[in-house]
């Protein structure tokens, strides 16, 4: 959980609430009031934001509040393509010594989403859980591939699903072909791999199976910050709600994640996620069906 400041071709966000865990929580909470948040915030983090999360059914007992330091802060500027960005400022602040403690009341959680963070910290969360979750999903990024390769390899062996973007998949596997990259990565530990391609959708790989979910073509991508985390939150939230972790159900889950991510891009930060309803999601899922649904009648 963090402060972000975002500049896009459409304007400036000012200082707003962001952070991987925030987006994941808002997205997952759409599917039930049993989301348990683990994170760290500083003395500048507004209590009202935690109340907002609580009002959506997110338990924030595991959000550690540090009294003598500010929250993590990131400032970024998007290029015209809205797919690439420059980081203008990154202040770790409280995140520098984040040592998450899992509250007792969180034990028994069946679905665990590990947002992008130091691999050793992600591992410590897994190790604190007394009962192995039904599904562990992990996000990571190129930074950890450069700086904490061994720890990353270590935690990858403990997770079921890895969620990364295409350039991260290429770096992790040292393969340019996404299909070859997926095969190599699936040999590193996770049994399922999701490769996000931004406005070009997402691929789901398991064994020799592959599924593709497009991104919804939008009139305007207003702010893509958090879209990947929203996607992951929608994915795991849908799986947790249905309790079904089959490949077939994961297909639907990444379409759900993709649909929620499209809402995220419509406004700065978490604004749209705070208001999105199941009815909105249903309508957009119908748009997705229209977007990809076709008849094969080759011999007609």
Specify the length of the chain in residues: 300
Q: How far is the CB of 269 from a copy of itself (least distance, A)?
A: 20
Q: Verify binding: residue 83, a copy of itself, rule CB under 8 A.
A: no
Residue 133 CA: distances (Å) to CA of 103, 140, 167, 239: 15, 19, 29, 13
Q: How far is the CB of 90 from a copy of itself (least distance, A)?
A: 27
Q: How far is the CB of 31 from a copy of itself (least distance, A)?
A: 9
- Spell out, one character per residue from 209 to 228, where the chain touches a copy of itself: x when CB under 8 A holds, - when not: xxxxxx--xxxxx-------
Closest CA to 41 of 75, 61, 6, 70: 70
Rounded to a whole number, what is the largest CA-CA distance in the chain?
71
Of 41 and 203, CB closest to a copy of itself: 203
Q: How far is the CB of 171 from a copy of itself (least distance, A)?
A: 13
Q: How far is the CB of 255 from a copy of itself (least distance, A)?
A: 5
d(CA 4, CA 268): 10
Q: How far is the CB of 178 from a copy of itself (least distance, A)?
A: 6
Please identify which residue in 197, 264, 265, 269 interacts with a copy of itself, judged by CB under 8 A.
197
Please identify which residue in 203, 227, 232, 264 interacts with a copy of itself, judged by CB under 8 A.
203
What angle, rounded to 10 degrees, do the helices at 247-264 and 20-29 form?
110
Q: Verify binding: residue 33, a copy of itself, rule CB under 8 A.
A: no
Count of CB atoms situated within 10 Å of the CB of 158: 16
Closest CA to 111 of 235, 21, 194, 281: 235
Q: Verify binding: residue 176, a copy of itself, rule CB under 8 A.
A: yes
Contact in structure between 82 and 105 (CB atoms under 8 Å): no
Contact stretch for a copy of itself (CB under 8 A) within 61-69, 117-125, 157-165, 207-215: 207-215
Q: How far is the CB of 199 from a copy of itself (least distance, A)?
A: 8
Contact in structure between 269 and 21 (CB atoms under 8 Å): no
Of 61 and 220, CB closest to a copy of itself: 220
Contact stretch for a copy of itself (CB under 8 A) within 95-103, 130-138, 264-272, 276-284: 276-284
- Sequence-distant (≥ 6) Cβ neighbours of residue 32 within 8 angstroms: 57, 237, 240, 241
- Spell out, one character per residue from 228 to 267, where the chain touches a copy of itself: x when CB under 8 A holds, - when not: ----------x---x-----x--xx--xx-----------
Contact in structure between 77 and 86 (CB atoms under 8 Å): yes
| DSSP of 39-86 | EEE-TTS-HHHHHHHHHTTEEEEEEEE-SSSPPEEEEEEE-TTSS-EE
Number of residues counted as binding a copy of itself (CB under 8 A): 48
Closest CA to 204 of 188, 190, 217: 190
Please identify which residue in 120, 201, 267, 280 interacts with a copy of itself, judged by CB under 8 A.
201
Q: Verify binding: residue 271, a copy of itself, rule CB under 8 A.
A: no
| Number of separate helices (H) and strands (E) present in the chain | 11, 12
Interface positions with a copy of itself (CB under 8 A)? 9, 80-82, 176-180, 197, 200-201, 203, 209-214, 217-221, 238, 242, 248, 251-252, 255-256, 278, 281-282, 285-286, 288-298, 300
């Amino acid at each position: 959980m963090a402060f972000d400041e975002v500049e896009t071709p459409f304007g400036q966000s000012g200082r707003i609430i962001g952070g991987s865990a925030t987006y994941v929580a808002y997205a997952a909470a759409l599917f039930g009031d049993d989301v348990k948040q683990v994170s760290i915030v500083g003395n500048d983090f507004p209590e009202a934001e935690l109340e907002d999360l609580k009002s959506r059914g997110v338990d924030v007992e595991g959000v550690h509040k540090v009294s003598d330091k500010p929250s993590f802060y990131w400032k970024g500027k998007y290029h015209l393509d809205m797919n690439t960005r420059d980081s203008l400022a990154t202040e770790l602040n409280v995140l520098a010594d984040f040592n998450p403690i899992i509250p007792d009341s969180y034990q028994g959680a069946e679905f665990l989403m590990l947002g992008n963070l130091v691999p050793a910290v992600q591992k410590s969360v897994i190790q604190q859980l007394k009962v192995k979750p039904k599904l562990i999903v992990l996000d990571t990024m190129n930074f950890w591939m450069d700086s904490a390769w061994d720890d990353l390899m270590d935690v990858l062996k403990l997770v079921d699903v890895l969620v990364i973007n295409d350039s991260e998949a290429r770096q992790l596997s040292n393969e340019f072909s996404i299909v070859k990259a997926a095969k190599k990565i699936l040999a590193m530990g996770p049994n399922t791999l999701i490769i996000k391609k931004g406005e070009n959708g997402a691929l789901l790989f398991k064994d020799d199976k592959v599924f593709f979910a497009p991104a919804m073509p939008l009139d305007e991508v207003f702010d893509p910050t958090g879209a990947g985390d929203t996607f992951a939150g929608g994915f795991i939230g849908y799986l947790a709600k249905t309790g079904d972790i089959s490949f077939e159900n994961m297909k639907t889950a990444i379409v759900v994640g993709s649909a929620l991510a499209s809402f995220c891009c419509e406004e700065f930060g978490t604004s749209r996620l705070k208001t999105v309803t199941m009815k909105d999601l249903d309508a957009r899922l119908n748009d997705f069906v229209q977007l990809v649904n076709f008849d094969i009648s080759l011999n007609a």
